[in-house]
Structure 1
Amino acid sequence: MPQFWRPVRTLLGLLLRRPLVGTCVIPILPDGRIVLIQRRDSGCWGLPGGLVDWGEDIATAAKRELLEETGLDLINVGRLIGVYSDPERDPRFHSACVALEAYVDGNFFIRDKAEVMRIEAFTVDAIPRGNLAHDHDQQLQDYFNGATVLA
């Protein structure tokens, strides 16, 4: 390889090998139930969320992802639950996820049918814990414990 390409290759590696930034939403309906989606890729239940688009802030990404995956409107962002960045948290790639509590309203409607199979609202006791997608069990446990974590 010519000497010229070595720094270019190094720079590209530095620019492209970075964790992606995303957000997860813990959507709380007016009656207190928590909304989960059933993911098409794994069949697991999980929190709505996704990657932050270029030029977008976390709150805007959370609102957009919630609407795309559930049809629900984000009325008010509650508290920060945590920032989750374990390289193994998502089996597809290394991502850092900002988890937020969100008060939501509206009617369920799947806009992203390639990603979401079902939407359901659960009481706290009925959430299918133990086999949620990614690290969503941990995020919900931190939420219920009232914690704000950096993990």
Structure 2
Amino acid sequence: MEYYKYLRQYVGHKPIILPGSVVIILNKQNEVLLQKRHDGCWGLPGGLMDLGESYEEAAKREVFEETGLTVENLILLNVFSGSEYYLKVSNGDEFYAVTAVYYTKDTSGEIKVDYSESKEISYFSIDNLPDNIADNYMRFIEQYIMKMY
């Protein structure tokens, strides 16, 4: 059972802290890989940490599960946390996300969409990102752009 589901058995919908990781994956043209989620918003591949995992292990596992890609040589951009990362989702669950954001160009494998998590996966030019990127992911990408350009 995923750790957050285990916690929910005890705390119900009350706010909890959820650690996770995402990865800004860049191809040779410096385009960023985004996945279109079922809510219609684009985001970065990644997800929540399981018990015993490091942030980097969670990032690698989630990217593989969601995209079919193996990522290596992850570089930590930042860890994002605080009140601006509070979410209340449609089922009433509340949480504060603590997200380690990595970036890499070191990928192998072929993109395979996990349709239980995504509707589409595509690379986008940093100068021409889709309009409907979820706010938190846009903050991560903006910090990457400020650091690299």
Moved over 6 A (4+): none
The residue aligned with 1:29 is 27
* Preserved CA contact (<8 Å) 1:76 1:104: yes
* Preserved CA contact (<8 Å) 1:89 1:135: no
The count of residues paired between Structure 1 and Structure 2 equals 131
- For 2:102, what is the secondary structure of its paired residue? strand
* Preserved CA contact (<8 Å) 1:33 1:123: yes
What one-letter code is carried by the residue in structure 1 that aligns with 2:72?
I
- For 2:138, what is the secondary structure of its paired residue? helix
* Preserved CA contact (<8 Å) 1:81 1:143: no
The residue aligned with 2:111 is 108
Q: Per the alignment, do residues 33 and 114 of structure 1 end up closer, same or farther by CA in structure 2, a change over 3 Å counting?
A: same
What one-letter code is carried by the residue in structure 2 that aligns with 1:65?
E
Q: Deviations over 1:37-91 (max 9, x none)?
A: 0001x11111111100111110010001111111111021123233233355444
Structure 1 segment 1-150 matched on structure 2, within 5 A = 18-40=16-38, 42-86=39-83, 88-92=85-89, 93-94=94-95, 95-105=97-107, 106-111=109-114, 113-129=115-131, 131-146=132-147
What one-letter code is carried by the residue in structure 1 that aligns with 2:22?
C
Give the superposition deviation at 1:133: 2.0
Q: Which consecutive unaligned segments of at least 5 residues does structure 2 have?
A: 1-9
Q: Whose radius of gyration is greater, 1 or 2? A: 1
Q: Which consecutive unaligned segments of at least 5 residues does structure 1 have?
A: 1-11
What one-letter code is carried by the residue in structure 1 that aligns with 2:42?
W
Q: Per the alignment, do residues 85 and 70 of structure 1 end up closer, same or farther by CA in structure 2, a change over 3 Å counting?
A: farther
Q: Per the alignment, do residues 91 and 39 of structure 1 end up closer, same or farther by CA in structure 2, a change over 3 Å counting?
A: farther
Distance 1:89 1:136 in 2: 14
- For 1:138, what is the secondary structure of its paired residue? helix
Over the residues paired in the alignment, what is the CA RMSD in angstroms? 2.2
TM-score (norm 2): 0.77
